[in-house]
Structures are given as structure tokens and as C-alpha cells.
Amino acid sequence: MGQSEQITAIPSNRLQFFPVMMFAVVMGFTGLSIVFYKMSQDLVFPTIIADIFGYISLTLFIVISLFYFKKILTYKEEVKKEFTHPIRVNFFAAISISMLLLSIFFRHSLQELSYIMFLVGALLHFFFTFYTIKFWINNNLEMQHSNPAWFIPIVGNIIVPIAGKGFVPDEILYFYFSVGLFFWIVLFAIILNRIIFHNQFAPKFMPTLFILIAPPAIGFIAYEKLVSHLDFFAHMLYSLALFFTILVFVMYKNYIKIKFFISWWAFTFPMAAISIATILMYELSHENIYAVLAYLFTAITVFVVFLVAKETIVHMFKKEICIME
């Protein structure tokens, strides 16, 4: 069956509501692939598993991109609605982040593909960053619109130095890193204000609390890429990532009764981020506690990704995904 026939296999009404949030699936699987690769480098783990999941991630990116491109051609108004929605607009950056993560993974095997993925992903993320900030400035947003998904387009800039080291001058990477780190602090203050002083998140957005883990975890990895040594600031970033990881697990009762939404994929990439950061911390410090934590976080990440993937497949067969909400 050709690609065009596969695309039209989705009934038109379901294609119409095919969400841009589906790219979070690619983020989750690619994050897990990078975890497996780092485990094979620094701890006892077979490399073949990382390669299998890496190619699965690339396939998912291609398939989801084809579906969304078909949606752009067929249902332009629906895409415009997503691109001007105060919450969904943040998930468009998942497209560029997926490309950056794939660039990171394939750097050790397909360097030309990695380089192309990096260039396109970095330029696309540059656009999404400025578009999102302009969107916030030009629209009268309300406090209930804020949620941790706001971190995606802005703090995603911190991934660029990880993917781009050696591809472009460090001055460009410092630019992305600085923007991401600054807006992480600003947005965290806004999100904390919302969490403490305003209404609780809707159930479908509760998984996005896991996104709180990602900025310091990715920030630690990016900072180490830029400075190449473990110092006080690196320790601080990792410690904050560890703190938020413990915090979201202490709040486990907030998640266990949530009905499935595609937003469950927000559980996956942050867990991959803290796993990779912990493996790197072990690589730099050689402290056994980080090796133990690396195995623990990797096991949790595998469990979470497979659980969310299973639920996604089940609900796809029930035709409960890609429907109007």
C-alpha cells in the first residue's frame, strides 16, 4: 500500500481533528531511544535496542508528519484554529523538538541526516519561539490558559545546544540556551502562580505537570555540552530536575484516576530527560548512586512509554482519538 493510500485510510472527519499534539508521541519514543543509547554507552545495556527504537521513532515522525501535512492541505481552517488556540499553539514546537531529538539520536550513525534534522529543527524552533512570544503579547490571555505546556516552545530552545554542538558555532548555541533558560524562570513563576492561587488544571492537563522536570534536566545536559565540566551550576540544574521528579511522584494520586487523553504523552519525554541527565551525571561523577538512579529512571521511563503507547493504540481502535473535543 502506498503512502497516499495509507493517509486516506483515516476517515476525513478523523483527519480533520488529527491533533498537532501527536508529535508528542515522537518526543516520547525518541527520548526513550536516546536513553537506551546513553545506557549502552555508559552502563550495561545492548546497543541494538537503542537502534530499533531510534528507527521506530523516525518512522513515527514520518507517518505523523504525513498525516498532519494531509490535514494542512485538506483542512486549513482547522490548522489555523490550532495555530491560534491559546493552549494548542504551544504544541507546534513539538514538531521542531522532534527533529532536534532525532538529530541527537542519529548523530552517532547517520551524521548527514542528523545535520539536516538539526538545521531544519533549529530554524523551525526559532520561528515557533518568536511566533509564540508574539502571540502572548498580542492576545489577551487569561490565567486559566497557562499550563506547563507553555514550556514547550520556549524552553525547547535548550535542546538546540545538545543537538548543535559541533554543527554550528557555539555563539549560536549560547543564544538558544540563554533564551530557553531565561524564559524557563519567567514561565515557572507564572505557572506556580496559577497552580497555587488559581483553579486546578483540567484533568486532561494534569500530565503536563511532568513537563516541570524537563527544563532543568535538559538545561543540565545542554550546559555540560557547552562548558564540558561539572561545576556548581551544573549540580544546581541537575538537583532541581531531581527535585521536580520527586515532587511529581509524591503527587501520584493526581494522575492515577485520570481518563486517557493524548496529553498522557506529556509523561514520557520528561522522564526520558531526567534519565539521560542522570546517566550523564554518573558519567561525569562516577558516583554509584547515579548509576542506581539511572537504572531506576530508565525502568520507569520504559514502563511509562509502553503504558501510554498501549493506551493510545487501544483508544485508536475505539476511535476515541482524532475526534472533536
CA dihedral 254, 98, 215, 256 (to 10 degrees): 10
Buried b (16+ CB within 10 A) or exposed e, 38-61: bbbebeebeeebbbebbeebbebb
Q: Which of 228, 300, 295, 301 is nearest to 43 (CA)?
A: 295
The pLDDT, as a whole number, for residue 325 is: 58
Q: Which of 249, 261, 251 is nearest to 297 (CA)?
A: 249
The pLDDT, as a whole number, for residue 149 is: 83
The series of mean pLDDT values per 10 residues for the chain, 325 residues long, is 44 74 92 93 84 94 94 89 86 94 93 95 95 88 80 91 94 95 91 83 77 93 93 95 93 78 82 95 92 94 92 80 59
Predicted TM-score (pTM) of the model is 0.89
Q: Which of 64, 79, 105, 99 is nearest to 17 (CA)?
A: 79
> What is the identity of the amino acid at 310?
K
**How far is 199 from 136, CA to CA, in rounded Å?**
21
The pLDDT, as a whole number, for residue 86 is: 82
Phi/psi of residue 33, nearest 5 degrees: -60, -40
Q: Which of 174, 262, 153, 188 is nearest to 225 (CA)?
A: 174
Instruction: Spell out the domains of the chain, with CATH numbers in brackets.
Output: 15-318 (1.50.10.150)
- Give the cell for residue 87: 493552549
DSSP reduced 3-state for 155: helix
Q: Which of 100, 144, 133 is nearest to 119 (CA)?
A: 100
The secondary element (H helix, E strand) that includes residue 291 is helix 288-317
The pLDDT, as a whole number, for residue 3 is: 44
The pLDDT, as a whole number, for residue 321 is: 66
The pLDDT, as a whole number, for residue 322 is: 58
